[in-house]
Amino acid sequence: MIAFNRSPVVTNSLKYIEDALLQKTSGDGGYTRKCAGWIESACDSPNVLLTTSGSHALDMAAKLCNLEPGDEVIMSSYTFSSTANAFVGCGAKIVFVDICPDTMNIDETLIEDAVTDRTRVIVPMHYAGVACKMDHIISIAQKHNILVVEDAAHAIMSEYNNKPLGSFGDFGCLSFHETKNFSMGEGGALLIQDQNLVLNAEIIREKGTNRSCFFRGEIDKYSWVDWGSSYLPSEINAAYLWSQLEMAEDINNRRMQIWSMYYNSLSPLAEKGMIKLPVIPDNCIHNAHMFYIKTNDYHEQERLINFLRTGGVYAVFHYVPLHSSKAGQSYGRFYGNDIYTTLESQRLVRLPLWYGLTDDEVNATIDTVNKYYL
């Protein structure tokens, strides 16, 4: 079976993990600092805190937004539960709006009509590493004095108008889950634009203590000063991530090669109207986070996935729209009409894409898709 995903194991992975075991296993050591420094540079962000997951980066961002019960947060329904959970945990009401069918991102033209006097945050999620229209979203946020939290879980090394994703909003949230381009197994990062919020973020990340100040020699003792949790990853995780970040260009280039193989080889099916392929707008640079095709309807989606698995290819669907779920109906509401969110989600099939996937495996996947349609 051709796996849908496997975590990268690169030249120095085991070496650095062993070094972390011998040197320091708790967080904020040398490997954590290396990873944070790389992310600051790559994502054009002045302040980066490595976290235990992308979900926890979102949790921290939501907490730093100082939300109150009844405040509203606008986002797409086509995203992972973590995007909404972070704000629900602060007592906010989620307001879902429809997506653009070409990119699967939030439809920026629907956001302003969904704004009320309780709207506090807009959360654009860059699906498949392809940017939301951030200039439009930022202009709405500035006009109405609304914060922007970018869910850039898919989007490291992606750009919009030559600017890295995660650097547009007040906060950017990255994921280094095992399914992402670079992996800690479980991990993430919080990008913070306002230097004045960094200390608060450190306190949240370090169980509500000012421990980070203590380790910098700024205070003699650290103590419990506010609410917090344990959002600091171990050096073992950071060492594994660093082994990939130091060869990030190689990993990114290989993923782009695989993505292009799929796109070029499956284009004839798209030209015949049998499937649809991903759309990359001209002002976007994507990172080959995933490759998907769209079938004609959900019956075909299910049949194709089963056909591929029978043929030795593990392909998968993606998100069930949040507004259709039990929790989504309890914690949120859909503004306007669901024209595309459900329809497009029921057509999407993701194909295997990971660093280490061989050309033979890519070609076998392409051949199996062609066998279904031709």
Query: Rounded CA gap, 286 and 160, in Å?
Result: 9
Q: What is the mean pLDDT of the chain?
A: 96
pLDDT band, very low/low/confident/very high, at 214 (cuts 50, 70, 90): confident
Taken in order 324, 103, 188, 200, is the CA torsion positive or negative? negative
What pLDDT is stored for residue 48 in this prediction?
Answer: 97
Closest-CA residue to 120 (of 165, 64, 49) = 64
What pLDDT is stored for residue 190 in this prediction?
Answer: 98
Domain 13-245: CATH class, spelled out: alpha beta
Query: Rounded CA gap, 331 and 87, in Å?
Result: 10
Each residue's pLDDT tens digit, 182-191: 999 999 999 9
Instruction: Tell whether the model's pLDDT for residue 27 goes beyond 90.
Output: no
Residue type for position 239: A
Instruction: Tell whether the model's pLDDT for residue 12 goes beyond 90.
Output: yes
Query: Rounded CA gap, 16 and 48, in Å?
Result: 21
Cβ(113)–Cβ(335) below 8 Å: yes
Percent of the chain past pLDDT 70, that is, above it, reads: 100
3-state SS string over 15-74?
HHHHHHHHHCCCCCCHHHHHHHHHHHHHCCCCEEEEECCHHHHHHHHHHHCCCCCCCEEE
What pLDDT is stored for residue 26 in this prediction?
Answer: 84
In CATH terms, the fold of domain 248-373 is: Aspartate Aminotransferase, domain 1 (3.90.1150)
Cβ(100)–Cβ(76) below 8 Å: no
Query: Rounded CA gap, 151 and 170, in Å?
Result: 11
What pLDDT is stored for residue 217 in this prediction?
Answer: 86
pLDDT band, very low/low/confident/very high, at 25 (cuts 50, 70, 90): confident
Instruction: Tell whether the model's pLDDT for residue 289 goes beyond 90.
Output: yes
Count of residues making up the chain: 374
Of 67-81, 210-224, 291-305, minimum mean pLDDT range: 210-224
Cβ(130)–Cβ(157) below 8 Å: no
- Burial string for 98-116 (b: 16+ CB within 10 Å, else e) reads bbbbebbbbbbebbbebbe
Each residue's pLDDT tens digit, 330-374: 999 999 999 999 999 999 999 999 999 999 999 999 999 999 998
3-state SS class at 338: coil
What pLDDT is stored for residue 144 in this prediction?
Answer: 98
Q: Are strands 72-76 and 93-97 parallel, antiparallel or unpaired?
A: parallel
Compute the average pLDDT of residues 90-110.
98
pLDDT band, very low/low/confident/very high, at 92 (cuts 50, 70, 90): very high
Each residue's pLDDT tens digit, 30-57: 999 999 999 999 999 999 999 999 999 9
Each residue's pLDDT tens digit, 230-249: 999 999 999 999 999 999 99
Q: Give ranges for CATH 3.90.1150.10 in the chain.
A: 248-373
Q: Give ranges for CATH 3.40.640.10 in the chain.
A: 13-245
* Two structure tokens written together for 259: 């993505």
Compute the average pLDDT of residues 263-284.
97
pLDDT band, very low/low/confident/very high, at 69 (cuts 50, 70, 90): very high
Each residue's pLDDT tens digit, 110-156: 999 999 999 999 999 999 999 999 999 999 999 999 999 999 999 99
- Burial string for 65-83 (b: 16+ CB within 10 Å, else e) reads bebeeebbbbbbbbbbebb
What pLDDT is stored for residue 198 in this prediction?
Answer: 93
Query: Rounded CA gap, 349 and 347, in Å?
Result: 7
Compute the average pLDDT of residues 92-109.
98
Instruction: Tell whether the model's pLDDT for residue 215 goes beyond 90.
Output: no
What pLDDT is stored for residue 181 in this prediction?
Answer: 97
Cβ(153)–Cβ(80) below 8 Å: yes
3-state SS string over 164-179?
ECCCCCCEEEEECECC
Instruction: Tell whether the model's pLDDT for residue 216 goes beyond 90.
Output: no
Each residue's pLDDT tens digit, 55-67: 999 999 999 999 9
Cβ(194)–Cβ(65) below 8 Å: no
Percent of the chain past pLDDT 90, that is, above it, reads: 93
What pLDDT is stored for residue 186 in this prediction?
Answer: 95
Higher confidence at residue 228 or residue 277?
A: 277
